Amino acid sequence: MSVTSIQLIGLFVVMINSGAGLHILLPHFPGTPYANHFSVIQYSPAQVSSSTWPGVTACGPNNSLRCAPVSLETITFAGATDPAPTDVVGDIPHLRCCCASMTDILAKYKDPAATGKVSAHIFVGQGVAEAITGPDHRTDTWLTMHSVDPTGITVIANAGMSGSYNIVFKPGATFTIQNEVMPTNGENHFLAYYLMGVGSDSCTSVPSDGPPCAARSTECAVSKTAPARKIAPTRRHMIKTNVRVGSTLITESLDSDCSNTRWP
């Protein structure tokens, strides 16, 4: 039995799937200040058995890693023996808490079959999902999946469709899925989440402001009368963050408010 660990870094929205497991959104923001994205699966080639994923490039320190681009795929996993996750374990910012006026997520972000969709969709049918907050207060989601040796976990894009492609990981691999806004302006990256919502146009609360937007284990109650919290956006300090991929330690610059989130 081996354990595969997958770290989600940057802008992701974790939801409960309507069937079983988790439905995680990897949003893009074309035509906005947050359009310049770095959205990839990043891994050590030594931990991969085979890959048909298109557009993979060398990246990381001395080009020692590989980056597989993520656009609008529907991503699933094969090989895990775990039961379906029922929620995220631990504290994570909840969008309904951060923005009381937000009533839903726009279909183009939430629905994998929507016309003009602007998200990749990650479905986690087996495994454990845990929210972990680092020293810089950024909350990432860690997915843990067990497999029976010699089988590892396979990441599949658009399963069951013509042109499907995959990355077959060896047992015990560790890799990241990243969705990071490039630091091209002074906007707080967390504010991009409010472009995804219904009724969230005026929201400006971010996790570093503290409650109600700070990471927590439960969502906030729905309040039709509660006003959206308005705080003037400020330029946040960029923090150097260490991310481990396999045996390699990477140093990246990430905003302290680039946390994963939970809806609702």
Strand 37-43's sheet: what is its strand order?
Answer: 57-59, 65-69, 37-43, 174-181, 2-10, 139-147, 128-133, 88-89
- pLDDT for the residue numbered 181: 75
Residue 241: per-residue pLDDT? 40
**Average pLDDT in the chain:** 87
List, for residues 44-88, the tens digit of each pLDDT value: 999 999 999 999 999 999 999 999 999 999 999 999 999 999 999
Give mean pLDDT, residues 86-92: 95
The verdict on residue 230 lying in a domain is: no
Residue 259 lies in a domain: no
Whether the predicted pLDDT of 250 surpasses 80: no
- pLDDT-derived band at 238, boundaries 50, 70, 90: very low
**196 occurs within a structural domain:** no
Asked whether residue 141 is domain-assigned, the answer is yes
Reported as a single tens digit per residue, the pLDDT across 103-141 is 999 999 999 999 999 999 999 999 999 999 988 889 999
155 vs 37: which has the higher pLDDT: 155
**Count of domains forming the chain:** 1
Give residue 257's pLDDT.
Answer: 86
Asked if residue 155 is part of any domain, the answer here is yes
Summarised one tens digit per residue, pLDDT across range 176-234 is 999 987 755 667 889 999 999 999 999 999 999 999 999 999 999 765 544 443 333 33
Predicted confidence band at 38 (pLDDT cuts at 50, 70, 90)? confident
Q: Which residue has the higher pLDDT, 181 or 147?
A: 147
User: Residue 11 is part of which domain span?
Assistant: 2-89+105-186+240-253
Indicate whether 162 belongs to any domain.
Answer: yes
Residue 249 has pLDDT above 50, yes or no: no
Question: Does 98 reside within a domain?
Answer: no
151-180 pLDDT, tens per residue?
A: 999 999 999 899 999 999 999 999 999 998
Average pLDDT over residues 249-255: 45
What tokens appear for 225 in the block?
């009368």
Confidence (pTM) = 0.88
31 found inside a domain: yes
